[in-house]
Amino acid sequence: MPGTLYIVSTPIGNLEDITLRALRVLREADLICAEDTRVTRKLLSHYDIHTPLTSYHEHSRGEKIESLAERLSVGQSLALVSDAGTPGISDPGQALIAAAIGLDAAVVPIPGPCAAIAALTASGLPGGRFAFVGFPPRPKGDRRAFFESLREEPFTLVLYEAPGRVLSTLEELIRTLGDRPLSYGRELTKQFEEIYRGTVSGALERLRARPPRGEFTLIVGPPSPSGQTPPSDLSDVQQALQNALDQGATARDAVQQVSTLLKLPRRLVYRLLLEMQRRAEKNL
Ligand code: SAM
């Protein structure tokens, strides 16, 4: 009877972010298939786990997959891990998972960290319906087509990006989608974790002043419904400003975010913010 392939999520920074079940599976598996055995060895030694390791990465060829499939077919259990987060999510895994399914082996997810979900949940942007679009392609033509295709998406967008390309990606986003609400999670769960909430232009301004370092996940808010008319009751605008401030936006970003969202002149939104601040001071 075929064995089991466990898809094990591992921390994206903080080593405490691993489930009890993941630790047990890693301890009990016959073999751990790791994207980079040196990275996974650090995690295993932290938890005093001594299961044998083999490498399984994006360049693993048919032979490697066949030898792993052979182990599954004789009943062994394999644990698949990537360097960080959930295998198969912009990480290796798909070919091995397909091979296991082809063998009728059990394929069992061991859920846990995923940078996309961590960044989305902390962004304050709608998480009910979102499109995960992974890394934007690098070749110029593909890149253009990729960003153009995002215009069609009515949902929140989740992107991965390397630090050296974050500025260029933000520039493409503003060019193709306009100045939408944007959040980024940088170095999530690590010592210098930063969660920015504002707009694409606000993020550009911030990151132009301080060149991006570390790992970034970008969350872009959905387009505002087309043809939306300005609210007749200005308290709606103030409520939207308050929500943005509560979510950690600076005053400047809150004004930008709300004027984009409600399609109102920035000057009007700014005036309402000043009014709110004056009222709050009086009530102190
Ligand atoms: N499979 C992984 C997951 O489930 O999160 C993602 C792997 S993908 C190769 C790596 C990308 O994930 C990074 O370039 C970055 O965009 C994002 N990422 C990984 N760790 C992160 C972190 N701690 N903070 C923010 N983004 C992170």
Domain ranges of the chain: 4-113, 116-220, 235-282
* Predicted local distance difference test score (pLDDT) of residue 269: 84
Ligand 1 center from residue 193 Cα (angstroms): 13
For the Cβ of 82 lying below 6 angstroms from any atom of ligand 1, the answer is yes
CA distance 54 to 221: 40
Please name the residue that has the structure tokens 């060895």. Answer: 41
Which tokens sit at 4? 């089991």
* Predicted local distance difference test score (pLDDT) of residue 226: 53
* Predicted local distance difference test score (pLDDT) of residue 231: 44
Structure confidence by residue, pLDDT tens digits, 80-99: 999 999 999 999 999 999 99
* Predicted local distance difference test score (pLDDT) of residue 23: 98
* Predicted local distance difference test score (pLDDT) of residue 18: 98
pLDDT band at 145 (very low <50, low <70, confident <90, very high): very high
Ligand 1 center from residue 46 Cα (angstroms): 21
Question: pTM of the prediction?
Answer: 0.81
Q: Given this structure, which CATH class describes domain 4-113?
A: alpha beta
For the Cβ of 187 lying below 6 angstroms from any atom of ligand 1, the answer is yes
pLDDT band at 265 (very low <50, low <70, confident <90, very high): confident
Structure confidence by residue, pLDDT tens digits, 181-227: 999 999 999 999 999 999 999 999 999 999 899 999 999 999 986 53
Q: Which residue has the higher pLDDT, 108 or 258?
A: 108
* pLDDT surpasses 80 at 262: no
Closest atom of ligand 1 to 193 CA is: 24
Residue among 9, 58, 158, 217 whose CB has most ligand 1 atoms within 8 A, to mutate: 217
For the Cβ of 17 lying below 6 angstroms from any atom of ligand 1, the answer is no
CA distance 61 to 95: 9
CATH number for domain 116-220, candidates 3.30.950.10, 3.90.800.10, 3.50.50.60, 2.60.40.420? 3.30.950.10
* pLDDT surpasses 70 at 229: no
Residue among 89, 160, 165 whose CB has most ligand 1 atoms within 8 A, to mutate: 160
Ligand 1 center from residue 127 Cα (angstroms): 18
CA distance 206 to 211: 9
Closest atom of ligand 1 to 185 CA is: 25
* Predicted local distance difference test score (pLDDT) of residue 44: 98
As a whole-number percent, the residues of the chain with pLDDT over 70 amount to 95
Ligand 1 center from residue 26 Cα (angstroms): 21
For the Cβ of 80 lying below 6 angstroms from any atom of ligand 1, the answer is no
Structure confidence by residue, pLDDT tens digits, 102-144: 999 999 999 999 999 999 999 999 999 999 999 999 999 999 9
Give me the DSSP letters along the chain. Answer: ---EEEEE-B-SS-TT---HHHHHHHHH-SEEEESSHHHHHHHHHHTT----EEE--TT--HHHHHHHHHHHHTT-EEEEE-SSB-TTSSSS-HHHHHHHHHHT-EEEEE----HHHHHHHHH-S--SSEEEEESPPSSHHHHHHHHHHHTT--SEEEEEE-GGGHHHHHHHHHHHH-S-EEEEEESTTSTT-EEEEEEHHHHHHHHHHS---S-EEEEEPPPPPTTPPPPSSTHHHHHHHHHHHHTT--HHHHHHHHHHHTT--HHHHHHHHHHHHHHHHHH-
Ligand 1 center from residue 209 Cα (angstroms): 23
Which tokens sit at 80? 């698949």
Q: What is the rounded radius of gyration, in angstroms, for the C-alpha atoms of the chain?
A: 23
As a whole-number percent, the residues of the chain with pLDDT over 90 amount to 77
- Mean pLDDT computed over every residue of the chain: 92
* Predicted local distance difference test score (pLDDT) of residue 234: 65
* pLDDT surpasses 60 at 239: yes
